Amino acid sequence: MTWTPFYLGDGTPRDVDLGAPPPWRTFPRQPRPERFQPPPGLVEAVNAALALRRPLLLTGAPGSGKSSVIKQVATELRLGEPLRWHITSRSTLVDALYRYDALGRIHAQRLGGDSGTDDIAPFLQLGPLGTALLPSRAPSEQPRALLIDEIDKSDLDLPSDLLDVLEHGEFEIPELARYRDDDVDVREWESDAVHRIVKGRVRCDNFPFIVLTSNGERDFPAAFLRRCIRYTMPMPDTESLRRVVAAHFETEVAPSGPVDSLIAAFVERLRAGESLAVDQLLNAVHVLTGAQAPEGAAAEEVRELILRELTGA
């Protein structure tokens, strides 16, 4: 069928049917953990991290499925919706543990004057790591799951700053340790739920399942690495990519068909040292093999656009 673009660039208003989006680009996002295909050795690494109550450090290229691991584990083991701490160069340990709005509290005190109650609770919220370390509400409660995404994007000191918290599973909120009341109800991360903090101390009783992801862009201190179970995502091969595509599109990949040809070319480029992500392949399959797929020169142009190397300008 002839490629029919939505946008023509002529500025003329028109009614256009954009068609259905790819399954992984529907909103609100609906996680489909069964679509993730664990590579060899990953299941063993996850189970070791769970048994030892140690963080799992996953290293691999962008788009290799690292962040999908925790979603699948949390679903299978009923750990609840995973918490997420996305790392940037400005991320600090304190931000991951709790957030305190000191200026907001000062402003409230000034507005309240002598009649103000000076309640600190509205100005505190636990961060993603702090929430993951909360003690269980019931003896049978499973540990929380926490994704620490792209740890190699952090400041050089952050991995070392994490050591004590990851080793002992506890931390102090100084503002609460000095507060007049011993018990304060503090909001959890991205939730309306509150948890009672006693004397400013948070101590976990069931260490969370923590997955840290790295794109392999830096080295980490030995003291940090020895506290983690480490696994490197392997370079995908033709057979594993066939399974990934089949899982996402819920269809078998026909041998020697257009999808199989895309997979073979993708693997060849990976082996040649190019930096490509698996989701680029999925995007290419969706656009280049659908009912309205482009043909000829248009197909080549779209292919180059979608499968552009990640390290290129």
pLDDT digits (tens, 9 = 90+) for 146-196: 999 999 999 999 999 999 999 999 999 999 999 999 999 999 999 999 999
At 15, phi and psi to the nearest 5?
-85, 125
Superfamily of domain 33-232: P-loop containing nucleotide triphosphate hydrolases (3.40.50.300)
- State mean pLDDT over 127-137: 96
pTM: 0.86
Alpha-helical runs (H) found in the chain? 42-52, 66-76, 93-97, 102-112, 128-132, 158-161, 163-168, 174-177, 222-225, 238-249, 258-271, 278-288, 296-306
pLDDT band at 94 (very low <50, low <70, confident <90, very high): very high
Residues whose CB is less than 8 angstroms from the CB of residue 303 and which lie 6 or more positions away in sequence, other chains included: 284, 288
Q: What is the mean pLDDT of the chain?
A: 91
3-class secondary structure, 93: helix
- State mean pLDDT over 192-208: 96
Return the domain boundaries, the chain.
23-30+236-306, 33-232
CA separation for the pair 156, 224 (Å, rounded):
12
The identity of residue 132, as a single letter, is A
pLDDT band at 110 (very low <50, low <70, confident <90, very high): confident
pLDDT at residue 260 above 50?
A: yes
> How much of the chain, in percent, has pLDDT values that exceed 90?
70
CA separation for the pair 310, 40 (Å, rounded):
25
